């Protein structure tokens, strides 16, 4: 396998920057066999029979056209992560939010005017397709970059599983996993491989674009023997900040500048350490510290590996080069994120006790076909967790993370300001502006909310459309940790144009494409998809676990099931599942 990544001479590119172009990619979504970690060959999702999926490179003001043919055996869609898609919400991609997925054998063309620059990525947004490999960097060059550098490398970090997503998610959401332990990856990858190499030429300055395309893993990034300076977060150019390492959670991006040594006598190790705190169990065979190599000369030996302390690092300290207007919010939503065993006895996620469940009609189509009712949240169904906002209002979302895990939250269609962050639950009595940053706060599209902390974000509702707000840990999205922002519904019919092909796809899949969340008129929501709800009463976590195991043991006719500890959950669940399967066979 070719391990080195060709670098792009950005300065040369800038010098010849021409007018906006239409840049076309033809992407047949195909299954491919691959063994990216060298440990296990499996079926993955690639493009044009290739894996890893090649990067997309465009320039500000281009139009990106992706002709997709779905050659998988299930429907698919693509989301360009971090792109505003102004007036173009129908191209955003999440299945059943802005479109019906592309049926098997069908094709669809995503046409995306490029209004931003920086480091992004594109990934499947139906089921867990991105966990199975359907993910690639999407790099948007700026003919007038804020910083000067000679070359660039893209460093895409990802976790890797040996089992297919569908198998894992079924176990994850089953009643046999009452503590909600997420599947732990088998490996970490850099550019979808082991031991990726990055060539450095003495004295040159490199822009490294680091993208975390993980399903779960959080990495700490550092390079032996070199200083790094952060210059971009999630597409926003920021003032230079020297760091020795920085954490990057699923879906986030950073660009750093690194100057190559002029007197290197060795090559150096590049580190992406997976943070074990993200995993319920760290299997002994999992190599947490993923490495690549900075190659000055293939003939050089490797400098001895350094151990580094992970930097304490607050992304809210990063200062955008171009400040954005700020305003007090017109509407505030406070969302409490929790995981618990619900009344279907599976461990699911909820914001304010609502577990996201896909509607029968893609939410965007409900907004476009229900007339004036489209400003009434009820029409979208309770379980899409709709939050209706008016055009150009300033919206503040406060996320209280009441879960023992850390969660990276992502808003589609916007970049948001990080205006507050504190320990514990958000306290509305803390006087403004003690809690809030009022001048040029950091902006990004994915923010980590650590356990038992809260973060407040703000954005202006200047992009009519339907935008998902969700945890970007794929397992947690599937567990329902999502809400839907219905932005300026009164303007959507004027501003958005649905490609008739999308409607053909709904028809082919038997998915209704008009009416409320149940596919009916008015507010008659009978037959809408509903989710599990919290268990009644005051169950303690332990009590629920005991209850679930009583039910399971009754179900399976097993005499006793001993509950050890969270760590053994997966093992127990596997044993039970095996016992159940054996029973079903007889």
Q: Which of 118, 362, 420, 480 binds ligand NAG (CB under 6 A)?
A: 420
In the bound complex, what is the minimum distance in angstroms from residue 570's beta carbon to Cu ion?
18
Binds 483, which of ligand NAG, Cu ion, none (CB < 5 to 8 A, cut-off by type)? none
Q: Which stretch binds Cu ion (CB under 5 A): 109-117, 352-360, 471-479, 484-492?
A: 471-479
- For residue 307, state whether it binds ligand NAG (rule: CB under 6 A): yes
Residue 410: closest CA among 384, 462, 458, 446? 446
Nearer to ligand NAG, 245 or 374 (CB): 245
Binding of residue 57 to ligand NAG (CB under 6 A): yes
Tell me the two tokens of residue 481: 């940790």
User: From ligand NAG, Cu ion, none, which one binds at residue 214 (CB under 5 to 8 Å depending on kind)?
Assistant: ligand NAG
Rg of the chain's alpha carbons, rounded to an integer? 24
Residues pairing with 157 in the sheet: 190, 212
- Binding to ligand NAG (CB under 6 A) within 123-142 occurs at 139
User: What DSSP element (H or E) covers 495?
Assistant: helix 489-495
User: Which among 4-12, 293-301, 362-370, 463-471 is the span making contact with ligand NAG, rule CB under 6 A?
Assistant: 4-12
414 lies in the site for ligand NAG, by CB under 6 A: no
CA end-to-end span of the chain, whole Å? 46
> Between 141 and 170, how does the x/- string for binding to ligand NAG read (CB under 6 A)?
--xx-------x-x--x-------------
Query: In this chain, which of 473, 496, 528, 545 binds Cu ion, going by CB under 5 A?
Result: 473
Give phi and psi for 464, each to the nearest 5. Answer: -55, 130
Q: Which among Cu ion, ligand NAG, none contacts residue 476 (Cβ within 5 to 8 A by kind)?
A: Cu ion
Calpha distance 583→425 (Å, rounded): 46
Choose the one of ligand NAG, Cu ion, none that binds residue 545, judging by a C-beta under 5 to 8 angstroms depending on kind. none
Which tokens in the block code for residue 546?
A: 């005991």
354 forms bridges with which residues in the sheet? 351
Write out the binding residues for ligand NAG, residues 69-128 only, by CB under 6 A: 69, 107
The residues in 233-292 that bind ligand NAG, with binding defined as CB under 6 A, are 247-250, 272-275, 278, 288-289
CA triple 469-384-467, angle to 5 deg: 35
Q: Which residue has the tokens 């491919």?
A: 32
Distance (Å) of CA 358 to CA 390, 399, 468: 23, 22, 11
Residue 341 binding Cu ion, by CB under 5 A: no
In the list Cu ion, ligand NAG, none, the entry touching 32 (Cβ below 5 to 8 angstroms by class) is none
Report the greatest alpha carbon distance in the chain: 75
Name which position in 359, 408, 512, 531 contacts ligand NAG (CB under 6 A). Answer: 408
Measured CA to CA, the distance from residue 282 to residue 287 in angstroms comes to 9
CA distances from 368 to 89, 331, 363, 388, 487 (A): 12, 23, 9, 14, 12
Q: Are 238 and 446 in contact (CB under 8 A)?
A: no
Binding site for Cu ion (CB under 5 A): 407, 471, 473, 476
Binding site for ligand NAG (CB under 6 A): 5-6, 8, 54-55, 57, 60-61, 69, 107, 139, 143-144, 152, 154, 157, 212, 214, 216-219, 221, 247-250, 272-275, 278, 288-289, 307-308, 314, 316-317, 319, 408, 418, 420-421, 437, 473
């Amino acid at each position: 396998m070719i391990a080195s990544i060709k670098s792009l001479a950005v300065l040369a590119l800038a010098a010849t920057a021409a007018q906006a172009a239409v840049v076309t990619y033809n992407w047949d979504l195909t299954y491919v066999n691959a063994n990216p970690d060298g440990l296990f060959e499996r079926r993955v999702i690639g493009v044009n029979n290739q894996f890893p999926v090649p990067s997309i490179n465009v320039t500000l003001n281009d139009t990106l056209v992706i002709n997709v043919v779905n050659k998988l055996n299930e429907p698919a869609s693509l989301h360009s992560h971090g792109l505003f898609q102004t007036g173009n919400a129908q191209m955003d991609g999440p299945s059943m939010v802005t479109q019906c997925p592309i049926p098997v054998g069908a094709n669809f063309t995503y046409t995306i005017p490029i209004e931003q620059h920086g480091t992004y990525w594109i990934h499947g947004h139906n089921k867990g397709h991105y966990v199975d490999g359907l993910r690639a960097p999407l790099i948007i060059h700026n003919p007038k970059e804020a910083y000067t550098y000679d070359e660039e490398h893209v460093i895409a970090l990802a976790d890797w599983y040996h089992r297919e997503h569908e198998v894992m998610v079924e176990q994850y959401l089953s009643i046999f996993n009452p503590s909600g332990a997420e599947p732990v990856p088998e490996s970490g990858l850099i550019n979808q491989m082991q031991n990726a190499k990055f060539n450095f030429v003495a004295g040159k300055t490199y822009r490294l674009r680091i993208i975390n395309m993980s399903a779960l893993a959080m990495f700490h990034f550092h390079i032996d023997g070199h200083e790094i300076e952060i210059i971009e977060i999630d597409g926003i150019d920021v003032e230079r900040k020297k760091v020795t390492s920085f954490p990057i959670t699923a879906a986030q991006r950073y660009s750093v500048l690194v100057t190559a040594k002029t007197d290197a006598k060795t090559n150096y190790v590049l580190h992406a350490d997976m943070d074990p705190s993200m995993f319920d169990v760290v299997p002994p065979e999992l190599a947490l510290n993923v490495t690549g190599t900075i190659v000055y000369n293939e003939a050089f030996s490797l400098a001895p590996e350094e151990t580094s302390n992970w930097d304490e690092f607050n992304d809210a300290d990063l200062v955008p080069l171009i400040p954005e207007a700020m305003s007090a919010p017109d509407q505030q939503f406070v969302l409490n994120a929790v995981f618990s065993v619900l009344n279907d006895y599976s461990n699911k996620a909820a914001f304010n006790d609502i577990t996201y469940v896909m509607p029968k009609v893609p939410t965007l189509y409900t907004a476009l076909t229900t007339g004036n009712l489209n400003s009434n949240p009820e029409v979208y169904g309770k379980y899409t967790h709709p939050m209706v906002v008016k055009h150009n209002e300033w919206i503040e979302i406060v996320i209280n993370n009441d879960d023992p895990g850390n969660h990276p939250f992502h808003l589609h269609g916007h970049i948001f300001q990080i205006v507050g962050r504190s320990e514990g639950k958000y306290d509305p009595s803390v006087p403004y502006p003690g809690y809030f940053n009022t001048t040029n706060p950091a902006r990004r599209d994915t923010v980590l909310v650590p356990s038992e902390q809260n973060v407040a974000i703000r954005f202006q509702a200047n992009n009519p459309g339907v935008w998902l707000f969700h945890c970007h840990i794929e397992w947690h999205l599937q567990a329902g940790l999502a809400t839907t922002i219905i932005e300026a519904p009164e303007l959507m019919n004027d501003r958005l144009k649905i490609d008739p092909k999308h409607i053909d796809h709904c028809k082919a899949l038997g998915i209704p494409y008009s009416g409320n969340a149940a596919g009916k008129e008015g507010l008659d929501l009978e037959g809408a998809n509903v989710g599990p709800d919290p268990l009644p009463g005051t169950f303690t976590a332990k009590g629920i676990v005991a209850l679930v195991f009583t039910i399971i043991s009754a179900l399976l006719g097993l005499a006793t099931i001993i509950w050890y500890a969270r760590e053994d959950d997966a093992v127990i669940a596997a044993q039970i599942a095996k016992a159940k399967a054996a029973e079903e066979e007889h």
